[in-house]
Structure 1
Amino acid sequence: MKKQVIVIHGGMTFDRYEYYMSFLKNKDVEIDDFKTGGGWKNSLAKELGNDFEILNPRMPNSANARYEEWKIWFAKMSPFIEEGAVLMGQSLGGIFLAKCLSEISLPKKLKALILVSAPFDQAEHETLGDFGLPSSIDNCARQAEKIFLIHSKDDPIVPFSESAKYQKSFPTAELIIFEDRGHFNQETFPELVGLIKGLR
């Protein structure tokens, strides 16, 4: 049986619709903004190989994300999450998982929860909208055998200090620190591939 890995991507939030519209009108774009997404999330299946099944769901309206919309979509996927799956979220996807798994219990235990560049209560240059965490995220920690926090010290979007806040809530979590990966907008992520393959 293949080992299941589920990746929840990031997104953006805006407090008001007019802020979102202003962002769309004023955003500077390059041709790459209109190409099919690349990056490590899309190369993960190839890098991990045939022993793994990768689910990479497209969460609703990631350019102006709303927590309740994401929660509904995640709830539709949750019956397909297998025992021992690896659940991973990057950036907004990370705080989404921390909040959602604090509110609901999955039917099966996760092998690992991996949060990559996840904001805890702040992000540079943008709001977290309705993705803010509840006062306790203990239920989230109970749903995975292992928790990994991955962050780079030079992240320009989510301050590195956010990972220390997660460590207070998840004292047994392993923090994996990088010096120069920014917000992990890269084509491949060999260290993450090695981490997933090494899970027992």
Structure 2
Amino acid sequence: MTSLKAEKAVIVPGNGCGDVADSNWYGWANRKLNEIPGFSSILRNMPDPITARESIWLPFMKDELKVDEKTIIIGHSSGACAAIRFAESNPVYGIVLVGAYHTDLGDYNEGESGYFNHPWHWEKARENTQFIVQFGSTDDPFLPWSEQEFVSTSLHADLKKFEDRGHFMDESFPELISVVKQHLK
């Protein structure tokens, strides 16, 4: 990829959220990212927020959120799946994955999302990004560490491993802001 400058971040939440501005660290991170001079961040409620269907979320990311080659996608949980799937076929500046996984984990709703019923194209996702950072925690109550490790290895991601962050559902996430700032330099 050519070396472009990142102009914005798009935060793609996990499924099952109410108003994303009041969920987890999303609103906090959006405010912090919008404080960076010459950079902006977008956080919007996603359509189909419970099932988070790939067939709905990916077009929304492209057409409504205007994700492009100058965008850093920050995806949490099912939003991380959306970020990877988007990067498989679209150039983006980078992806930051939080609580990423690659199977439906035997969960019906996850199975209905569509992310897991066709092969992952890890190499294409890598080729379409300038960087991939992944945050994972060994004590995640929803995702086995093996799932998170598999994604990291498959993407050759810069893995930020924690042992005490669960599914990253805190109200703030300073490490995330640091990683984005690091990749804007």
TM-score bucket (shorter structure): 0.7 to 0.9
CA RMSD of superposed structures (Å): 2.6
1:163 counterpart residue number: 148
Give the Cα–Cα distance (whole angstroms) in 2 for the partners of residues 35 and 139 of structure 1. Answer: 29
Alignment of 1:1-150 (within 5 A): 3-11=7-15, 37-48=22-33, 49-51=35-37, 52-77=39-64, 80-81=66-67, 83-102=69-88, 104-106=89-91, 109-110=92-93, 112-123=94-105, 127-129=109-111, 130-132=114-116, 134-150=119-135
Change (3 A) 1:36 1:149: closer
Q: Which one is further off, 179-188 or 158-167? A: 158-167
Give the Cα–Cα distance (whole angstroms) in 1 for the partners of residues 21 and 177 of structure 2. Answer: 22
Q: Mark the structure with the bigger radius of gyration.
A: 1
Give the Cα–Cα distance (whole angstroms) in 2 for the partners of residues 145 and 90 of structure 1. Answer: 19
Change (3 A) 1:88 1:35: closer
Is the CA contact 1:2–1:53 (under 8 Å) kept in the aligned structure 2?
A: no
Change (3 A) 1:85 1:155: same
| 1:18-55 C-alpha deviation (Å, 9 max, x unpaired) | xxxxxxxxxxxxxxx79972431101133231423111
Aligned partner of residue 64 in structure 2, secondary structure: helix
- Give the letter aligned to residue 100 of structure 2: A
Specify every segment of 5 or more residues in structure 1 that has no aligned partner in the other structure, as ranges.
13-32
Change (3 A) 1:3 1:119: same
Change (3 A) 1:124 1:115: farther
Give the Cα–Cα distance (whole angstroms) in 2 for the partners of residues 149 and 2 of structure 1. Answer: 18
Change (3 A) 1:153 1:77: same
Identity %: 24
Q: TM-score, normalised by structure 1?
A: 0.76
Per-residue deviation, 1:160: 1.8
1:184 counterpart residue number: 168
Q: TM-score, normalised by structure 2?
A: 0.81
Give the Cα–Cα distance (whole angstroms) in 1 for the partners of residues 109 and 67 of structure 2. Answer: 30
